[in-house]
Structure 1
């Protein structure tokens, strides 16, 4: 028998819930369990709104509904489980994606390729199948990306929490845990951009613009952004891009090669659009490398590329998850770059109260904001 929320001993929280595919988020009262031995209870200060949240809302990627999504959370620890000794109430934290920290990729320092990544991040529950959230009718999917941070509070495995200095701007830091980390990490880790590189970024959303800033921080002298929105192109020029290309104004290859006849040595493709990927492949230069991070609109989406140019140029194409980054080391690196004035990601952010989550979604889709952050 389900107990009414008013009679439950579980903690009462407020959360944005998605109940059916593609439906608006609804702000609801839910119950949240107490932290287990390996978990911490975090009072969420702010959470970034990421494209992945929306493709899961629309069920292009599956998480059992109803669910509380949100996976770019930052906040303050309020309680810790019995086995947690390196974190304490009052600590300021950024919440990373979930990883087991025990499999071969995790032990090798590659937690974004954890052998259990899909289940831990999209399963809607703890590894044992239990759900930490409930409404008056029963269980609600929790632990999305190990956190479900579209809420006033979240339970998180301690091993996936990154402690930050209390002097850091906590309300801004959540997106460092996924979208911003993905763009910057792909540039700095996967592509290993340096001053000698010609960098092309396909897509001027928060992931792409994070890549632009990271390329500038790495000293790249030529950084080209491709995006159809004039506002995004103009903004990119203020963040470090040296050139911009409008894909609606003519063939991308021709426009790019007019800037750099030899093509790009490093390409970050963020759109997940098959045509855009093929256009990016066409401008790969000698020994060039293209990294794809965008989620396509269809799980069976395919790209057609000519094999011979890849062979003759010695070029390569790869996919990347979470910027090939370990949040525990990479988030502090990004915060340090920000504090040095070399990674001004805060300029992308527009804050919305959690009650305006659907407006934030609409504004982000329409390009009225670059990166929406929901404050609690």
Structure 2
């Protein structure tokens, strides 16, 4: 079928709207009419080929929409269902068999190659193609198993989560990556006891989700660290008890002015090595730093070895250790109760405004841009 998608023609290029061809779902795949899709920094990094996604490509990995068709192996999802789309996993590697699907051994090829996983039973490189000199040519169109910067997307039953039809898909779309990453790092990975001290470096989507989750967990104090005064103000409204701007001085000293022994937990979302070092340096004895920020491949960071020797832990975290089919319903329950007000982070844009949305995100004007494809439930 013909679809409209925001295509990246080459590394670093602006997105352009193109009419493309989407294949029918096969195997355990489903076709989704996309209603909304969040924009994540990972989309921008992948546009710039930081993780090797080939071009041309259709990106987008926080899609939400309505199921239109299903493949013959789909068991529990049917046309008309409303779904959120998340990251993909193979289901068969040691991590997946242990229920740790965020650490699927095939994570990079399944989510960043732009093509269907090579171990599947069918031999179709990508569900999306474009006409080049009259010949349909494959486009990298299975980004995170969805490529949802489009009016329609193909995902699998594995990475689709059915949600109630009364829920606003345009609000919930970003749960599939950024929101579950920040919230899951707190609620799934670190699982702090009430009263635990917490610091979060970076108050973007992931950091704000972590702040809200830390409040839900009963942490105190909760220290937000960011360069933006506006974001720090919002962080205080969403659950932070203290706000630190690095422009005002050394952030480790600022944290220790609040807690002389340091914090029990920190989360690093910025992907800057110097900030990562600070997030570790601000830990108390036996403290844990969760690394979330995705840096360019090959980026290195240095640490003072004796500081870490005193029981401090650095824990890498992908997707908030989430199993979306169970964790997204938990976050939706918190959203329904008013305890996870993700709508306060979001700004809507049309699909043809994608470049403007990315510019606003990079400038800090917008925390979480959400693209509306023009099709409604």
Shift of 1:17: 0.3
Given candidates 91, 96, 104, the residue that maps to 1:101 is 91
Partner of 2:161: 162
**Distance in structure 1 (CA, Å) of the matches to 2:107 and 2:274:** 28
Structure 1 length normalisation: TM-score? 0.95
Give me the whole-angstrom Cα distance separating, in 2, the residues matched to 1:61 and 1:193: 32
Residue matched to 2:66: 76
Q: Give deviations 1:246-285, integer Å, cap 9, x for gaps.
A: 1111111111111111111010100000110111111101
Distance 2:297 2:219 in 1: 34
Listed as ranges, the matches of 1:288-367 within 5 Å are 288-296=287-295, 298-312=296-310, 314-367=311-364
Q: CA deviation at 1:85?
A: 2.4
Tell me which moved more, 46-55 or 77-86: 77-86
**Whole-Å separation in 2 of the counterparts to 1:131 and 1:304:** 40
Where has structure 1 moved over 3 Å in runs of 4 or more? Answer: none
**Whole-angstrom distance in 1 between the partners of 2:317 and 2:362:** 23
TM-score (norm 2): 0.95
Alpha-carbon distance in 1 for matches of 2:254, 2:31 = 51
SS of 1:352's partner is strand
Which segment is superposed worse, 224-233 or 128-137?
128-137
Q: Give the Cα separation in 1 of the matches to 2:40 and 2:117.
A: 24
Q: CA deviation at 1:102?
A: 1.7
1:175 is matched with 174
**RMSD value, Cα:** 0.9
Alignment of 1:1-376 (within 5 A): 11-128=1-118, 130-137=125-132, 138-296=137-295, 298-312=296-310, 314-376=311-373
C-alpha distance in structure 1 between counterparts of 2:252 and 2:29, whole Å: 50
Q: Give the 3-state SS of the residue equivalent to 1:234 in structure 2.
A: helix
| Structure 1 residue 194 displacement after superposition | 2.5
TM superposition shift of 1:101:
1.2
Tell me whether 348-357 or 95-104 shows the greater mean CA deviation.
95-104
Number of residue pairs aligned between Structure 1 and Structure 2: 364
State the secondary structure of the residue aligned to 2:158.
helix
